[in-house]
Structure 1
Amino acid sequence: MSSVNGAATARLARFSGVESENRYENVCQSQLLQSLWRTLTRYLQLKKDREAARAKAIRDGLIPDPNRKTRLEEAFNLVGTCEDMCPEFEREQREYQRAVDKWELNPVTRRIDPKRAVKTFHRPAAGDETPLPSDVRPPHVLKMTLDYLIHDLLESNSLEATHHFLRDRTRSIRQDFTLQHENGLIAIECHERIARLHILSLHEMRGVQDFTEHMEMEQLRKVLQSIVEFYDDSRYSNTLPPNEPEFRAYHLLAHIRDPDVARQLERQPAHILDSPIVQVALDLRSLAQRNNITSSRRAANTEATQNFFSRLFATIRQPQVSFMMACLMEYHFADIRKGALKAMKSSFREAHKAFPIGTLTEMLGFDDETQTASFASACRLELVLDPASAMPVGVKLHSKALFDGKLSARALGCI
């Protein structure tokens, strides 16, 4: 710690040696140096106090002793005691390390604001120490934190501006639930709301620079997996979560080509399996299956499927398909449309006329003919142009037509 103090002193001395002829600048510089010194002093003191706090927590049996083997029957759950959205030690540490997000700054002092700061996600690594109870937020604080993120931050700012911050901080909320092995009603409610946020992001952030759909879907699938496990655990306590059918349906659509997820759903009680939203999800899954997937990295083909892609998009337009379900299905559109064009290409002969682009737009659920033409071009299909307007009026779909189905779903989805 002496080396740290020495480095900090040298840094402050370097700044102190800078003189300015402007009296106002000298005052501001002095205040800045005092603020930096207070932050450093507070951070080093808290860091020192943590050693004593960790030893006491081990003695009191609040966290396991890393130097002692623990038998399974002696295992216990960590109970968080932090009443803030961000623990005090992390606030001071991140301010010292200049790792404070703009959404956490006090607009007047430009320092970290305890009322705005939210605990960051910490990726687990080998050799990490067990978090102290004071580092972990209990369920009611986690719910309060999520309320702040959604009702205060997101309602006052755009999703595009806050998405990165929200994604990291909601991961941290999930992490604190996991550390405490919490699976009660508060944990279920918070995970459900986080899942809805990810589904909405898949739609609203589509095509935004630096947004990666597959990473968003990866987090959504992790949240949904936790939710269905919570639902399974709730059966032992005779608890019936009110939104279980909705999120069982989302789980199925997120894994639309995974037969194991469908089998798991079919083993659910009748009140889940027979619910309208689950039945709609099962219909969508059935219509989305393909039998012309050639890449070994993709899910296996569904034998004997009839490639009902036009019925799929017609069904999605129906009122029984909720907005959230449509947002989730949108993630699969590029892949479904590639399969549809591939199936149609195999069905027509070269002698046939070009397929009308207006009909194709309706069949594949595009918003307009421009989108259809762009998608077909991305698949290397040849367009037929109107001689007068030079606008595309047809797509050449036949067995000998050039077709590139290897373009990523993300690239096609941005068209």
Structure 2
Amino acid sequence: MDVRYGKGKCRSVRDFEILQKIGEGTYGTVYRARDKKSSELVALKQMRVHNAKEGLPWTAVREIRLLKSLSHPNIVKLKEIAVGSDMGSIYLVFEYCDHDVANLLDRMNKPFSTAEIKSMMIQLLRALHHLHERFTIHRDVKLANLLLMQDGTVKLADFGLAREYGTPAPAYTETVVTLWYRAPEILFGAESYSGAVDMWACGCILGEFLYHAPIMPGKNEADQANLICNLLGTPNARIWPDVVRLRGWKNFDLPRNEYSNLRVRFKLESDRCLDLLQRLLAFDPQRRLTAAEALLHPYFFEIPRPMPAKYPAEASRAIRSPPPAHSHSHQGQGGGLKGFGGSGVGLSQQIPFVGGGRKLIPYGFHAHGASSRGSGAERGHERLKGLTSNGNGRAKEERKEGKQECGPIGGAGRGKGKGGG
């Protein structure tokens, strides 16, 4: 069979020694394997083909096309395609990655440090910025789809649900994004959406890193909506004008809560950290931070500075088993596809560089317009009805380290695409 990838023929899957099954996701099963010719460890993703006569499903073709077009140190790299004895056996060959972050976090006695969290978040944001500038939405950003290399490099993986978008925005399916990371516009039935849905998921991941547990682990859509409102307050037309136009808005019996409880949940975190979290979890997708804006947020420039995750080299962090009840790796996630990725660049220089982005609101003012300073009670419950972020403003207590003030951070102009607002 003459199946071609790029300019050459596809290799046979017999050229690889399958060592073990390491994951299963929406559109395939992943195996750890060794290239018999080079002895290199790789990850083989066997694509699901329900009807061999019809060939690859369009979802697989879309994923392959997207992966071929993407080249970024924080995005999983597709090396080649291998084939079995018939068209029902198609394998994507990825560089092997050491860990998936969800499984790792489930089994760590000691959570990641603030510096490590910053490093991983910066890398995730860089990957999303790269995607969104190319008008692509991942649509399944979650902890189980983040892979971690021994050198601390993070890779965003599993593009089975990724879609390109443009203007006008086409109608998309609502059954995307794992429930715990699903943006409210999708939950409430929006027929079209942008990269902002990835940014909401990014906020959920930041909260999960900080809280060392999923922050909104809903059992179903109604429970998910309640958890969102209990943590962030109940949205209304003042803070999210378009919410009343969403057909699913009235389908939920939402609690009457006009307060955000982020400060209560994350009482050890710095003002800047809470500000970033609040802006990523903004209800209105038009006011939610883009990846470019988030990379320029002052949180990443305060002490401690970002540094690569030392786990798994750090022996002091014991592995515990089994995972806790609300584990990061089961999350109603459909199973993350761990194991594929590659040896990315080192992170000795942790500067959150992006090619564009807008100027952020100067630090000291939250999206609701009030100073981030104030009494504990004032900061404990930020009233949602005061949210007045404008177009330009979409923009831990450190446990052992001191704080360092930094000046206004912004960027001139914008890159050649939207970061996801």
**Class of the TM-score when normalised by the shorter of the 2 chains:** under 0.3
Per residue, is there more helix in 1 or in 2? 1
When the two structures are superposed, what TM-score results if normalisation uses the length of structure 2?
0.26
Give the TM-score taking structure 1 as reference length.
0.26
Q: Which fold has the larger relative contact order, with Cα–Cα distance below 8 Å and residues 6 or more apart in sequence?
A: 2
